[in-house]
């Protein structure tokens, strides 16, 4: 009983410490990075309520841990030991392969996500929704436009993963136009 809640608490505590060690903030703000993680988890909760048979326990852990390997000193073994092999596999698929040229990194991650369970597709959609809040003030219009285009690429690749989040991402992408005027 209550394994969902204890897994959530374990994952948010682990990720919060790891991102704090790097003093990582939500891009363009002074907010600690855990605010981003909690926003992704919130989107996943909302999707779960709208999606029959949704694997919430899995999705929440991956949502909370999704940037630990990419952005902190966390090793794959640490994730595997504390959260298991399936969570590790999801976190790795969410992580960019930085040895690839920059323009290949997102398509590569999307291809690795697409062979795994639909809840992982949902986490990626949720991540992008959470990232489409007001862009950092120092971003140029060109950069904002590129980010919106990249978001459409993610939506096109993963829309079949979760209807609720696909619709929500579509709306958020449209709404992002207000930063382009």
Contacts of 84 (CB under 8 A, 6+ apart): none
Residue 89 or 127: the one with the smaller Cβ distance to Ni ion is 127
Cα separation, 160 vs 59, in Å, equals 16
- The 3-state DSSP composition of the chain as helix, strand, coil percent (nearest 5) reads 75, 0, 25
User: Taking the complex as a whole, how short is the minimal distance between the CB of residue 70 and Ni ion, in angstroms?
Assistant: 8
Quick one: 65 or 166, whose CB is closer to Ni ion?
65
Q: State which residue, 119 or 127, has the beta carbon closest to Ni ion.
A: 127
Q: Which residue is nearest to Ni ion (CB)?
A: 127
Neighbours of 53 (CB within 10 A): 7
Q: Which residues of 127-163 are buried (b: 16+ CB within 10 A; e: fewer)?
A: bbbbbbeebeeebeeeebeebbeebeebbebbbebbe
Q: How far is the CB of 83 from Ni ion (least distance, A)?
A: 17
Cβ closest to Ni ion, residue 6 vs residue 97: 97
CB of 24 to Ni ion, least distance (A): 11
Name the site residues for Ni ion (rule: CB under 5 A): 127
Minimum separation from the CB atom of position 128 to Ni ion (A): 8
């Amino acid at each position: 009983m209550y394994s969902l809640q204890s897994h959530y608490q374990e994952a948010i505590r682990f990720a919060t410490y790891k991102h704090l060690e790097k003093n990582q903030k939500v891009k363009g703000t002074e907010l600690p990075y855990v605010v981003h993680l909690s926003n992704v988890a919130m989107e996943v909760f909302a999707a779960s309520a709208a999606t029959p048979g949704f694997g919430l326990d899995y999705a929440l852990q991956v949502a909370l841990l999704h940037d630990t390997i990419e952005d902190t000193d966390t090793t794959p073994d640490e994730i595997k030991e504390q959260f298991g092999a399936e969570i590790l596999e999801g976190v790795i698929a969410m992580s960019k392969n930085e040895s690839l040229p920059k323009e290949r990194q997102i398509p590569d991650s999307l291809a690795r996500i697409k062979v795994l369970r639909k809840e992982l597709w949902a986490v990626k959609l949720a991540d992008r929704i959470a990232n489409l809040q007001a862009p950092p003030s120092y971003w140029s219009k060109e950069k904002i436009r590129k980010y919106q285009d990249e978001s459409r690429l993610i939506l096109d690749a993963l829309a079949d993963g979760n209807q609720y989040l696909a619709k929500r991402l579509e709306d958020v992408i449209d709404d992002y136009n207000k930063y382009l005027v």
